[in-house]
C-alpha cells in the first residue's frame, strides 16, 4: 500500500512539472484594444445653435431697453415718429431695432416663424427694422402673455440695446403683461387721435395696471392746439383712470429726422432709458435722469453750434 501511494505521488509530480513547462513555452496572449474610429465631424457641442449664437455670447450682460409705443391709426406720420426716435438714440451710439407690429406695418417675412434673425434688415447706421404685424399673437401663452415675443426678438438680435416696440394697445397689453414699462402714447393735433390715445391708455390701465405714460405728438412747433393737448389728456387720465401723463414732446413731421433733440424729447427719452425693466418696476434715482439726458442735450448743443457757424 505504501508503495502504491509513493508511485501515485511521483506520477502527480511529473504531471505538474509537465503542465508548468507547457504553460511556460506558450506565448502570452494579449487582448488587442479595438482601434478607435476617427471622427471626421466636429463635436456637436461646439456647433452654434443658430446664426445669432456668437452675437449672444459677445453681447451677454449688456443692458437692453424696450420702449413700447401704442399705435394710433389717426396719426398719419407715425412712421416718421419712429424714424425720429431711432435717429436720436442711434446718434448716442446705441444699437436700435424698430419692431413694427402695428396693423399698418408691412406683413412679416415668410421666415419669421422659423428664423427671426433672418427677417431683420438694417435701414440706417445702428438702426435695424423688423416688420412684425400679427407676430405677437403667435407667442401668446395660456395666461394671455406674449412676452415670449420680446425675448425671441432679443435672442435674434442680441447686439440691440434699444427696442422700439410699435404695436396696437391690445397687443401691448399682452406683450407688457409681466413687464415694468411706461408706454408712449402717439397722437396728433386733432381730436380723433387724442381720443384714440386715451383709449389706448384706458385699455392698458385695465389689463396691465400700468399707471404712467408719456406722449409724443406728431405736430409742428407752431400748432395752435399742440400746447393744450398734453394738459387735456393728462387731466382725463388722472380723473378717470387714476393714471399719470409724465412727459410729452413734439415731433415735427416736416423737421429734420436726424436733427438735434429738443429738451422735452431729450428728457422723455432719458427717463424712458432710466426705467428699470424688472418685475418690481423700480426706478433709478431721480438724479440719474438728468445725467442720462446730458449726452442728448450735449449733442443738440453741438449740432446747433455747428449749424450756426
Residues with Cβ < 8 Å from 259, sequence gap 6 or more?
A: 303
Strands (E), 53-105: 65-70, 96-100
Which pLDDT does position 63 carry in this prediction? 77
Spans of the chain below 50 pLDDT: 30, 40-41, 44-48, 51-52, 55-56, 58-61, 278-289, 291, 300, 303-309
Which pLDDT does position 309 carry in this prediction? 42
pLDDT tens digits, 122-157: 999 999 999 999 999 999 999 999 999 999 999 999
- Residue 143 C-alpha cell reads as 395666461
The domains of the chain, with CATH numbers, are: 54-259 (3.40.50.300)
**CA angle (305 as vertex; 303, 309 as ends), nearest 5:** 115
pLDDT tens digits, 170-207: 999 999 998 999 999 999 999 999 999 999 999 999 99
Which pLDDT does position 293 carry in this prediction? 54
The verdict on pTM exceeding 0.85 is no
Where residue 93 falls (left for φ over 0; alpha for ψ -120 to 50; beta otherwise) is left
- Rounded to whole angstroms, how far apart are CA atoms 245 and 237? 7
Which run of H or E residues covers position 70? strand 65-70
- Picking from 101, 159, 102, 162, the residue whose alpha carbon sits closest to that of residue 132 is 101
Q: What is the DSSP letter of 192?
A: H
Residue 208's Cα: distance from chain center in Å? 20
Amino acid at each position: 500500500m505504501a508503495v502504491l501511494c509513493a508511485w501515485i505521488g511521483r506520477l502527480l509530480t511529473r504531471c505538474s512539472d509537465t503542465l508548468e513547462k507547457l504553460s511556460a513555452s506558450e506565448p502570452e496572449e494579449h487582448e488587442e484594444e479595438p482601434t478607435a474610429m476617427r471622427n471626421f465631424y466636429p463635436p456637436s457641442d461646439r456647433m452654434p445653435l443658430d446664426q445669432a449664437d456668437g452675437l449672444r455670447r459677445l453681447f451677454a450682460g449688456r443692458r437692453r431697453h424696450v420702449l413700447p409705443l401704442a399705435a394710433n391709426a389717426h396719426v398719419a406720420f407715425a412712421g416718421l415718429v419712429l424714424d425720429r426716435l431711432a435717429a436720436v438714440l442711434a446718434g448716442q451710439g446705441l444699437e436700435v431695432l424698430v419692431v413694427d407690429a402695428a396693423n399698418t406695418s408691412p406683413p412679416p417675412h415668410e421666415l419669421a416663424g422659423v428664423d427671426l434673425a433672418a427677417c431683420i434688415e438694417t435701414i440706417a447706421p445702428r438702426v435695424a427694422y423688423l416688420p412684425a404685424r400679427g407676430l405677437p399673437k403667435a407667442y401668446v401663452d395660456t395666461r394671455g402673455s406674449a412676452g415670449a415675443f420680446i425675448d425671441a426678438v432679443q435672442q435674434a438680435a442680441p447686439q440691440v440695446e434699444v427696442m422700439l416696440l410699435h404695436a396696437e394697445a391690445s397687443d401691448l397689453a399682452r406683450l407688457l403683461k409681466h413687464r415694468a414699462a411706461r408706454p408712449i402714447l402717439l397722437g396728433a393735433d386733432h381730436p380723433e387721435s387724442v381720443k384714440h390715445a386715451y383709449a389706448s391708455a384706458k385699455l392698458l390701465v385695465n389689463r396691465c395696471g400700468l399707471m404712467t405714460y408719456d406722449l409724443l405728438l406728431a405736430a409742428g412747433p407752431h400748432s395752435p392746439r399742440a400746447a393744450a393737448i398734453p394738459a387735456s389728456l393728462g387731466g382725463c387720465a388722472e380723473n378717470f383712470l387714476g393714471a399719470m401723463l409724465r412727459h410729452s414732446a413734439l415731433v415735427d413731421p416736416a423737421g429734420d429726422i436726424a436733427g438735434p433733440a429738443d429738451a422735452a424729447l431729450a428728457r422723455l427719452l432719458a427717463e424712458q432709458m432710466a426705467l428699470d425693466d424688472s418685475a418690481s418696476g423700480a426706478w433709478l434715482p431721480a438724479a440719474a435722469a438728468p445725467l442720462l439726458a446730458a449726452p442728448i442735450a450735449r449733442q443738440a448743443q453741438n449740432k446747433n453750434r455747428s449749424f450756426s457757424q
